[in-house]
Amino acid sequence: MASPSTCLVFKVHRQEPELVAPAKTTPHEYKLLSDIDDQGGLRFQIPVIQFYQCNPSMQGKDPARVIREALAQALVFYYPFAGRLREGPHRKLMVDCTGEGVLFIEADADVTLDQFGEALQPPFPCMEELLYDVPGSAAVVNCPLLLIQVTRLRCGGFIFAHRLNHTMSDAAGLSQFLSAIAEMARGWLTPSIPPVWERHLLGARDPPRVTCKHREYDKVEGTIVPYEDMVHRSFLFGPAEVSALRKFVPQHLQKCSTFELLIACLWRCRTIAIQANPEEEVRIIFTVNARSKFNPPLPSGYYGNAFALPTAVAKAGELCENPLGYAIELVKQAKNDVTEEYMKSAADLMVIKGRPHFTVVRSYAVSDVTHAGFGDVNFGWGKAVYSGVAKGGVGAIPGVSSFLTPFKNKKGEDGIVLPITLPAQAMEIFVIELDGMLKEIVVDKNGRKSVLISSSL
């Protein structure tokens, strides 16, 4: 279930970073981000990594050159990515479409894909070498909006790693852009999905008015999980693990989605692990793609951030002492709150309250990128054998957020990998709690079998 630690060490030889500009002249203009885009919780760089196998049919072709040229062509259509963010009055972000380009690094690694192991999952060894943090490139404003590194492997495969300024796009929007690059790499002249900017569709109303409850932006006093002694682990949830967890779901909730089940389980186990005060409120914040919530739906080519952050809240003691169904109910209720009005209300809240960060005190945020489509991005070498967020704990506040990422296990079965970051002691408890739900069966005095769940509260 948990990822093994790795001691793989290898050398990466990088060429000097360069700026790749659009292949043709593009408009020099300013484009406002939406009021969902520029909220405090999205003002960070998100790293994604994709592994590709050697493809004999592509022999003689250099993936770095192919992708670099395709990137320049795709930027003609997605030219805002080649610009720089500026901050205006009231913290409003906008893109200055300068056409300067995105950062691109070409590299070679003295390692084969097989050496990473059968189950590709974060944390990956030498990650700082596979996605080099170019000095001075990581700020939210006045910096390149995208950094890409293509690292050729000794076996003929390659690693495509990239880091995006999250205010520009969500996972679906980024995947759409990467798919356009891939199409150009395979000889297309225009993207199959024309990009749509239209960020005003998620802008605040005039006058702004908050009409829904947004517990994700509550002001909460207290401390967050300490950064010291943080441990990164990944946990795999294949069909067997999901089936084991479903045994805890009461009959009236049997139709709950796998996402709802995992979110509830992780929230409960993590709350036990951090040993929260039983009387204090804890919350789970998760993403819901809101594109289809609008009437009419947002245009298919819209590549901005278009998700809500519904939040379930409970006292720590009640969350940990109640059956799992209690947490599932809360998650489902919060998920059902997301409507077109909810999104408009959230945009209005941003303007009224100064674009706050979501609540991080006693909070756990989980994003679902299992349907983003990163794994389908094909530059000509086939689909990626792993694609997803490069590590756990990514976000403006380390250790608060996790991303559910798709994977295939050794049997070829589809599943989900969860990278998570916790202090060492909390991670030990988290592992025990999750293992207990998946494995330990006891028989009570009436002869009924049940799984033993120990609680630290």
Task: Count Cα neighbours of 363 within 13 Å in the Cβ-side half-sphere.
Answer: 26
How far apart (Å, rounded) are the C-alpha atoms in residues 371 and 100? 31
Cis check: omega of the bond before 296, within 30 degrees of 0: yes
**C-alpha Rg value of the chain to the nearest Å:** 22
How far apart (Å, rounded) are the C-alpha atoms in residues 269 and 74? 43
How far apart (Å, rounded) are the C-alpha atoms in residues 237 and 245? 10
**CB 227: neighbour CB atoms within 10 A?**
12
Mapping DSSP to helix (H, G, I), strand (E, B) and coil, where does residue 220 land? coil
229: left (phi over 0), alpha (psi -120 to 50) or beta: left
Q: Are the CB atoms for 317 and 281 separated by under 8 Å? A: no
Q: What are phi and psi of 235, to 5 degrees?
A: -125, 130
How far apart (Å, rounded) are the C-alpha atoms in residues 392 and 235? 11
Q: Are the CB atoms for 324 and 223 separated by under 8 Å? A: no
Mapping DSSP to helix (H, G, I), strand (E, B) and coil, where does residue 116 land? helix
First to last CA, the chain: 24
Given 162, 166, 214, 232, the catalytic residue: 166
Pairing of strands 288-289, 307-308: antiparallel
Query: Which run of H or of E encompasses 36?
Result: none
At position 409, the amino acid (one-letter code) is: N
Pairing of strands 45-52, 158-165: antiparallel
Which residues, in sequence order, are CB contacts of 267 under 8 Å at separation 6+? 282, 284, 312, 319, 327, 331, 364
Cα 156 versus chain centre, distance: 28
Q: What are phi and psi of 174, to 5 degrees?
A: -65, -45
> Active-site residue 166, yes or no?
yes
- Indicate which residues carry an active-site annotation: 166, 378
